[in-house]
Amino acid sequence: MAVNLAAKRGAKAQRRKAVLAAKRVLQTPASRMQEAAALPIQLCLLNTNLNEVGMGQLLLARGNSPVTSHLAIFLLDTYGAGVKDATFKTVDGATLRMYRETMEATMPMAPIEPADARKLLHDLVARSAAMGIRPHPDFAMAEKLFGTVSIKAATREFSFGPPAVLEALSAPGLDASIDGDDVSGPIVDVAAEA
């Protein structure tokens, strides 16, 4: 009977090892992201003075409880570079509060609808791509946290660039066309040349 008990324990240990190995295989970054994207959105915040300053952050958090959250943070440059940085992390509630408080200490944050936030990201990426600038390498992975949030549900329109330039371009009677000039060449940093 003792031999039979030892064999049963050995078989149970082997089954447990097989289950754990299968779980490890399933926990790839892509599978973790897919699971996180299916969780409810806890918060979606954007800097309130993004257009005035030209730089800001977008924060998206998903999770079932305040204990653990899946977090995507995007550093945005509306004057040119688009999405300069992107990160995806799984954090505890205290760390999420710390991120939020740190961000709000530097620039005020306000809630934004997830569809509008995703549209903002896509518009920024498209604008910077037209200027020959790629988004941050981690953008594609972090953007997946939006999951099934559709850009079609967005209600806001976004404009990019310094407020004075945008105001001048929208002045009545101003023709913003460039009369056949080719502006598709390399991007030059005027400040660096001065």
Query: Taking the model in full, what pTM does it have?
Result: 0.69
Question: Which 3 state secondary structure label does DSSP give 29?
Answer: helix
Q: pLDDT by residue for the chain (194 residues), tens digit each?
A: 556 888 888 888 888 887 776 666 556 777 777 788 888 888 999 988 887 888 888 999 988 877 888 889 998 888 878 888 898 888 888 888 888 888 888 888 999 999 999 999 988 888 888 888 888 888 888 888 888 888 888 888 877 776 554 454 444 554 444 333 343 444 434 334 44
CB under 8 Å, gap of 24 or more: what pairs does 43-46 form? 43/100, 43/111, 44/111, 44/112, 44/113, 44/114, 44/117, 45/100, 45/103, 45/109, 45/110, 45/111, 45/112, 46/109, 46/110, 46/112, 46/117, 46/120
Angle at 157 between CA 136 and CA 116, to 5 degrees: 60
- How many Å apart are CA 2 and CA 85, to the nearest integer? 61
Sign of CA dihedral 17, 65, 111, 55: negative
Domain boundaries, the chain: 37-154
**Sheet with 55-62, edge to edge strand ranges:** 82-92, 68-77, 55-62, 41-47, 109-111
Please check whether residue 107 is in contact with residue 47, taking contact to mean a CB–CB distance below 8 angstroms.
yes
